[in-house]
Amino acid sequence: MEENKNKPIMLYIGCGHDRLKDFIHVEINLGKNKSGPPDILADISDYIPFNDNKVDLVYSKATMEHLTYSELINCLLESHRILKRGGRVRMVVPDFDKMIDDYKNKITRPEIKSPGFPCEDYLDSFIGRILYFDHRYLHNFETLSKALKKTGFDNIKICQPGDCGINDANEELLRVENGRLEYDIIIEAEKLDKIPSAKRTEKQYPKNPIAYFLAKFFNVKIMNFIERKSRFPQKFWFKTFLKFNKSKYLK
């Protein structure tokens, strides 16, 4: 991709199906292509394929809550690495504090119902948001501030829609961030001269050769279909089954 030196380099990581004008779109899933394929396929919790000190803005929306804490730290370390001095990282995430406020004020949010959960009242709404499908961590200003400080960022602040420190981004960010503050928080931080204190966490693959091969090259994990239920077959399974059926409880 040819670099235009007159324009800032702005990444939209974990972009899903969204596309923003003048951004480079980074996504792990090639199927997220309703608006065309992403520009770059990458695991943002592992490696973002840019050289050091090359990027002006790393932006994400509804993405960081889908990372485990160690994956979040890895992603922020990668963001710090590729950002120029004075570059910004900006995140839009569900705000845990607003979930708590809704619970305390008995507010139901049926529009953000979690799949598989009831949403008949404020309590259902709160539980569904806490345990929302594929969310791996809960965030507010304090959690993200700690993570950003550990990964070398300064000038951490809560933002309003479209008020990014990279001015070229603001028109598009205002468009996609408007209306989100009822549920979300927007946080931005700057890369200056601080050295990260956090360390990268490497992925832990299974030791079994077959499980390792499936996990590393096909993203497949061998596991129970129902975690509470024993695998079939197991040692003494048939013997136990026959004994159980002859027991007094079935007479």
Measured distance CA(221)–CA(205) in Å, rounded: 10
| Fold of the 10-95+139-191 domain | Rossmann fold (3.40.50)
Measured distance CA(9)–CA(90) in Å, rounded: 14
Q: Model's pTM, two decimal places? A: 0.88
Q: How does the average pLDDT of the chain come out, rounded? A: 91
Token pair in block for residue 4? 């235009």
Instruction: Sheet with 55-61: list strands edge to edge.
Output: 40-41, 24-27, 10-13, 55-61, 83-94, 184-191, 153-158
Helix, strand, or coil (residue 72): helix
Token pair in block for residue 37? 């394929």
Q: What is the mean pLDDT of residues 84-90?
A: 98
pLDDT band at 1 (very low <50, low <70, confident <90, very high): very low
Residue 55's pLDDT is what?
98
Token pair in block for residue 14? 């974990």
47 vs 35, residue with greater confidence: 47
Q: What is the mean pLDDT of residues 20-37?
A: 93
DSSP assignment of 191-216 equals E-SPPP----------SSHHHHHHHH
Q: What percent of the chain has pLDDT over 90?
A: 74
Helix, strand, or coil (residue 141): helix
Least confident segment among 90-104, 109-123, 141-155, 236-250: 236-250
Token pair in block for residue 233? 């077959």
What residue ranges of the chain are covered by domains with CATH 3.40.50.150?
A: 10-95+139-191
Residue 225's pLDDT is what?
75
pLDDT in tens, 158-168: 999 999 999 99
